[in-house]
């Protein structure tokens, strides 16, 4: 197992986000965080506004989220890439697949968002991604205990949402998988008994 | 229906062929489930071709569109995610099945005369498969796709005199780029049909010499049974077990064989932290990196794949049955298999420190296994004959030795 | 050597055949089910289906003007008819495919038809009194009805409805 993957596994154990069992309420909260906070600088271009309907939002709620953009429009970043390059000296990466592009997935994202702190020199740094150009958008480095709890919840929610965003068909896939595997267990069982019956003839 | 078949039979050997090569085809009754992996490989080939054709209906082989088209397939095409995962998992399944198929052949000595050509057609199939998989991996145009293709096409620089020109010719440009992608798509679509044809040739060779069997003895006619229904049902049962494992991965752990970095679009300006090929290439990748010289590494890697072809001549023992009656060959086989796993682990990590040394030792063991075989096999032959073998096996061995010595 | 016909007793064979038949049936059902995702993947994907409807703003079309809009890859003619044109169309029944004008419009001043000639599929050109198809000379009136020429039917009507005073939504989601 590569060191990256081992690191990812440790994340999964150390930072249980519960993303695997995210409920609809959490995904909706996460969607709001993503649209209101992350989308300012990050695009989520493989998501369309119409995809939010799949999360249980009503058309009116989605209309509020999309503003002037069309239903079938992708979620591009609100800041223009040229401005971002000037401001951050890099274009913030697209988030549609971020939960799959990092070992540790949603747990890595959670750890990174909550990993900001103020170092000895008074600068904002990040435990998980040293030298990251992303600012501490939730201001967790300066938060007090109560504030920190709120931010951690937001981070959990948005991580769960980003995991959904990277694989919107996960639930459908697993549901279908249960039927398909069940079918093959049945078929293989029948084949087993038929094989034994046929081979008995040899004696 | 019978009338239609009779009409065809007058003009085409349909019934004859089916009877002779399929239903009544005599097969040793003692074939174990290890003999079912060839059938599995054929089935996976069909899965790959079918899923590949349907993916090609939506995939765009253009460097500016490829990555997006894969996301289009995953998110918007009806059941696109399923067809994609069947195909990506299928590639790994194909190699798992084929490597097991090869292991069976090596263990039981099924490459020995008169099955040399059968072994070599299989060798050719392996090379076609590796080329197909390599080209297919570029198509999603992720970071690992791009950089894996860059590293491997760079290897051709080792060719004397024309190295650089060959690499440029291969890529259609000065780096892996759009021309590379388009031609890899064209060839990736073509090769599976070449594989299909080569499988037919492989099966003709098989039917000429007939299957070997676990006992190592040429069975009497009475010990052969018709392929249908005995082995059709046995192969189908094996297929059922395979499908359960394969589909568990497809439905519940589909990203198992997709490197995280491949979820990032290819960026020619930035190399990922570790460039790692897919698992089925790892041992060869480790061998490549174990030799410090570029050309040396390429040669070593090429030989590590091709040397299997020499097995019928490297193994000079006339005791049949492969590892079954030959304790030293059996030990060498197991050491070789463990060594391959070790090399695989080495190939997955950066070559530094202890791992580098392990890789070098592993490479040495790999080649030594083949190089020692001619000498060890002869010595072992004397050893087991002296120790005692089952009468049928001993008789066969002595007969073959006598013939060989009579010809000297 | 057809051992499957060696019957020890009838019950044995029928049990064997039963298991074989059931297994074959289950396998066949599986093969049929396995075809579904592949056939389904050839149907329009969700992004194509999203384009099933198109919203059209009518405010830019002056009386007497006609504009063409794409919908599901086909041209749609939208005509802002003058009162004279409306009167003329209501007075006539059309040609070889008689149809009252009132049945072809929701609001008489707006005619919305699919701009594909019902003969062999060319796109007709607008004329004073309707349309003329350049391919084989079919003539349509200002209600899109076939007057002369080889086309068998009036220009087809797309499903649409008014979502606002000056906006229509063509197509069904």
pLDDT tens for A158-178 read 999 999 999 999 999 999 999
Query: Do A135 and A112 meet the contact criterion of CB atoms below 8 Å apart?
Result: no
For residue B305 the two structure tokens come to 């794949």
Partners of residue C37 in chain B, C-beta under 8 Å: 78-79, 82-83
Cross-chain CB nearest to C47 (options B54, B57, B76): B76
Averaged over B94-109, what is the pLDDT?
98
**Length reported for chain C:** 173
**Angle at the Cα of C108 from the Cα atoms of C105 and C112, rounded to 5 degrees:** 45
Q: Enumerate the domain spans of chain C.
A: 3-41, 49-170
Helix H or strand E segment including C146: strand C146-148
Architecture of domain B32-209+224-275 in CATH?
Answer: Up-down Bundle (1.20)
d(CA C59, CA B138): 50
Q: What was the pLDDT predicted at A3?
A: 62
Q: Above 50 in pLDDT, residue A15?
A: no
pTM (2 decimals)?
0.90
Which residue out of C18, C26, C37, C52 would a mutagenesis test of the A interface target, given it has the greatest number of A Cβ atoms within 10 Å? C26
User: How many CA atoms within 13 Å lie on the side-chain side of A23?
Assistant: 1
Query: Do A19 and A105 meet the contact criterion of CB atoms below 8 Å apart?
Result: yes
What does DSSP assign to residue B22? I
d(CA C55, CA C51): 10
**Angle at the Cα of B86 from the Cα atoms of B80 and B87, rounded to 5 degrees:** 90
CB-based contact (8 Å) between B250 and chain C?
Answer: no
Query: Do C47 and B77 meet the contact criterion of CB atoms below 8 Å apart?
Result: no
Write the pLDDT tens digit of every residue in A82-138: 999 999 889 999 999 999 999 999 999 999 999 999 999 988 999 999 989 999 999
Q: Above 80 in pLDDT, residue A58?
A: yes
Q: Enumerate the domain spans of chain B.
A: 32-209+224-275, 278-408
d(CA A13, CA B339): 32
| C66-71/A124-126 β-pairing | unpaired
Q: Above 50 in pLDDT, residue A16?
A: no
Q: What was the pLDDT predicted at C29?
A: 97
The mean pLDDT of chain B is 96
Check B24 against C1: CB less than 8 A apart: yes
Query: Do A100 and B85 meet the contact criterion of CB atoms below 8 Å apart?
Result: no
User: How many CA atoms within 13 Å lie on the side-chain side of B163?
Assistant: 11
Check A181 against B251: CB less than 8 A apart: yes
Q: What was the pLDDT predicted at B255?
A: 95
Helices (H), chain A: 3-14, 24-36, 59-66, 81-88, 98-101, 105-113, 145-166, 170-200
The A-side interface with B (CB below 8 A) comprises 1-4, 46, 93, 96-97, 100-103, 166, 168-169, 173-174, 176-178, 180-181, 184-185, 187-188, 191-192, 194-195, 198-199, 202
Check C19 against A194: CB less than 8 A apart: yes
For residue B51 the two structure tokens come to 């899923």
**Angle at the Cα of A80 from the Cα atoms of A110 and A103, rounded to 5 degrees:** 25
d(CA B370, CA B73): 45
CB burial of residue B240 (10 Å; 0-12, 13-18, 19+): buried
**Chain C closest-CA separation from residue B358 CA (Å):** 46
DSSP C50-102: HTT-EEEEGGG--TT-EEEEEETTEEEEEEE--HHHHHHHHH---SSS---GG
Helix H or strand E segment including B273: none
Query: Do B116 and B52 meet the contact criterion of CB atoms below 8 Å apart?
Result: no
Q: What was the pLDDT predicted at B348?
A: 95
d(CA B66, CA A33): 30
Q: Please identify which residue in the block is written with the tokens 């495919």.
A: C97
CB-based contact (8 Å) between B24 and chain C?
Answer: yes
Which parts of chain C have pLDDT scores under 50? Answer: 1-3
Query: Do C114 and C70 meet the contact criterion of CB atoms below 8 Å apart?
Result: no
For residue B148 the two structure tokens come to 């894996």
The fold for domain C49-170 equals Rieske Iron-sulfur Protein (2.102.10)
Helix H or strand E segment including B201: helix B178-209
Q: Above 70 in pLDDT, residue B378?
A: yes
CB-based contact (8 Å) between C20 and chain A?
Answer: yes
Q: Is the Cα dihedral B130, B134, B139, B142 positive or negative?
A: positive
Q: What residues contact A47, with CB distance under 8 A and at least 6 apart?
A: A74, A75, A96, A165
CB burial of residue B159 (10 Å; 0-12, 13-18, 19+): middle
Averaged over A71-88, what is the pLDDT?
91
Q: What residues contact C39, with CB distance under 8 A and at least 6 apart?
A: none
CB atoms within 10 A of CB C152: 11
Q: What was the pLDDT predicted at C132?
A: 96
Active-site pick, C80, C119, C136, C161: C136
pLDDT bucket at A19, cuts 50 / 70 / 90 = very low
d(CA B340, CA B141): 29
Helix H or strand E segment including B54: helix B37-56
Tell me if residue C132 falls in helix, strand or coil.
strand
Report the residue of chain C nearest B55, measured CA to CA: C41
Q: Which residue has the higher pLDDT, B138 or B406?
A: B138
Smallest CA-to-CA distance from B284 within B389, B399, B173, B363 is with: B363
Q: Above 90 in pLDDT, residue B40?
A: yes
CB-based contact (8 Å) between B248 and chain A?
Answer: yes
Query: Do C140 and C154 meet the contact criterion of CB atoms below 8 Å apart?
Result: yes
Smallest CA-to-CA distance from B22 within B234, B208, B228 is with: B228
pLDDT bucket at B35, cuts 50 / 70 / 90 = very high
Partners of residue B80 in chain C, C-beta under 8 Å: 41, 45
Restricting to A residues 168-187, those with a Cβ less than 8 Å away from any Cβ of C are 183-184, 186-187
Terminal C-alpha separation, chain B? 60
pLDDT bucket at A10, cuts 50 / 70 / 90 = low
For residue A113 the two structure tokens come to 């968002």
Averaged over B3-32, what is the pLDDT?
96
| C110-114/C74-80 β-pairing | antiparallel
Beta bridge partners of C114: C76
What does DSSP assign to residue C161? E
Check B75 against A46: CB less than 8 A apart: yes
């Amino acid at each position: 197992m590569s060191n990256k993957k081992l690191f990812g596994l440790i994340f999964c154990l150390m930072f249980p986000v519960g993303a695997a069992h995210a409920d609809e309420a959490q995904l909706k909260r996460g969607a709001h965080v993503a649209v209101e906070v992350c989308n300012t600088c990050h695009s989520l271009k493989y998501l369309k506004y119409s995809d939010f309907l799949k999360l249980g939002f009503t058309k009116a709620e989605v209309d509020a989220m999309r503003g002037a953009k069309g239903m079938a429009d992708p979620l591009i970043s609100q800041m223009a890439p040229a401005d971002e390059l000037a401001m951050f000296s890099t274009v913030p990466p697209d988030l549609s697949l971020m939960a799959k592009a990092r070992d540790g997935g949603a747990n890595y994202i959670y750890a990174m968002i909550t990993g900001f702190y103020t170092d000895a020199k008074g600068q904002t740094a990040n435990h998980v991604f040293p030298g990251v150009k992303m600012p501490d958008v939730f201001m967790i480095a300066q938060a007090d205990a109560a504030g920190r709890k709120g931010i951690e919840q937001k981070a959990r929610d948005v991580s769960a949402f980003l995991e959904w965003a990277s694989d919107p068909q996960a639930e459908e896939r697993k549901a279908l998988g249960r039927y398909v595997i069940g079918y093959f267990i049945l078929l293989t069982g029948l084949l087993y008994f038929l094989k034994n019956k046929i081979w008995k003839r040899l004696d | 229906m019978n009338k239609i078949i009779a009409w065809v039979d007058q003009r085409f050997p349909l019934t004859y062929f089916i009877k002779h090569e399929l239903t009544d085809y005599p097969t040793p009754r003692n074939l174990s489930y290890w003999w079912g992996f060839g059938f599995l490989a054929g089935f996976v080939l069909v899965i790959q071709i079918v899923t590949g054709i349907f993916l090609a209906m939506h995939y765009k082989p253009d460097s500016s569109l490829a990555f997006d088209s894969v996301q289009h397939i995953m998110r918007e095409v009806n059941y696109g995610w399923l067809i994609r995962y069947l195909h990506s998992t299928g590639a790994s399944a194909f190699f798992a099945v084929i490597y097991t198929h090869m292991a069976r052949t090596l263990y039981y000595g099924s490459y020995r005369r008169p099955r040399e050509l059968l072994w070599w057609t299989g060798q050719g199939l392996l090379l076609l498969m590796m080329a197909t998989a390599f080209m297919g991996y570029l198509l999603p145009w992720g970071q690992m796709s791009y950089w894996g293709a860059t590293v491997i096409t760079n290897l051709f620089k080792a060719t004397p005199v024309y190295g650089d020109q060959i690499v440029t010719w291969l890529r259609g440009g000065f780096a892996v780029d759009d021309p590379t992608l388009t031609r890899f798509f064209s060839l990736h679509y073509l090769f599976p049909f070449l594989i299909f044809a080569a499988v037919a040739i492989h099966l003709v060779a098989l039917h000429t010499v007939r299957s070997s069997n676990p006992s190592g003895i040429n069975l009497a006619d009475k010990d052969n049974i018709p392929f249908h229904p005995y082995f059709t049902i046995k192969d189908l049962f094996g297929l059922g077990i395979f499908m359960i494992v394969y589909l568990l991965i497809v439905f519940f752990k589909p990203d198992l064989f997709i490197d995280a970095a491949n979820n990032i679009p290819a960026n020619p300006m930035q190399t990922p932290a570790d460039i790692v090929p897919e698992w089925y290439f790892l041992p060869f990748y480790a061998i490549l990196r174990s030799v410090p010289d570029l050309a040396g590494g390429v040669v070593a890697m090429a030989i590590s794949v091709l040397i299997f072809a020499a097995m019928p001549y490297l193994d000079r023992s006339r005791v049949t049955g492969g590892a079954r009656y030959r304790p030293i060959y059996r030990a060498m086989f197991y050491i070789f298999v463990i060594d391959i796993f070790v090399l695989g682990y080495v190939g997955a990590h950066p070559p530094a420190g202890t791992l580098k040394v392990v890789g070098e030792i592993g490479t040495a063991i790999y080649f030594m296994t083949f190089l020692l075989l001619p000498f060890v096999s002869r010595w072992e032959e004397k050893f087991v004959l002296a120790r005692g073998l089952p009468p049928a096996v001993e008789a066969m061995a002595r007969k073959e030795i006598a013939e060989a010595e009579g010809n000297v | 050597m057809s051992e499957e016909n060696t019957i020890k007793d009838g019950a044995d064979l029928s049990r064997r055949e039963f298991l074989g038949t059931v297994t074959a049936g289950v396998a066949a059902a599986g093969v049929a089910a396995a075809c579904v995702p592949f056939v389904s993947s050839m149907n329009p994907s969700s992004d194509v289906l999203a384009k099933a409807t198109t919203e059209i703003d009518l405010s830019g079309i002056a009386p007497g003007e006609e504009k063409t809009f794409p919908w599901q890859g086909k041209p749609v003619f939208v005509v802002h008819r003058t009162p004279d044109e409306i009167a003329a169309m209501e007075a006539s029944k059309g040609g070889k495919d008689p149809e009252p004008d009132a049945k072809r419009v929701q609001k008489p001043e707006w005619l919305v038809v699919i701009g594909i000639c019902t003969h062999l599929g060319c796109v007709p050109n607008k004329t004073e009194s309707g349309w003329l198809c350049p391919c084989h000379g079919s003539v349509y009136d200002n209600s899109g009805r076939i007057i002369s020429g080889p086309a068998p039917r009036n220009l087809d009507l797309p499903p649409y409805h008014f979502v606002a005073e000056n906006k229509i939504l063509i197509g069904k989601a």
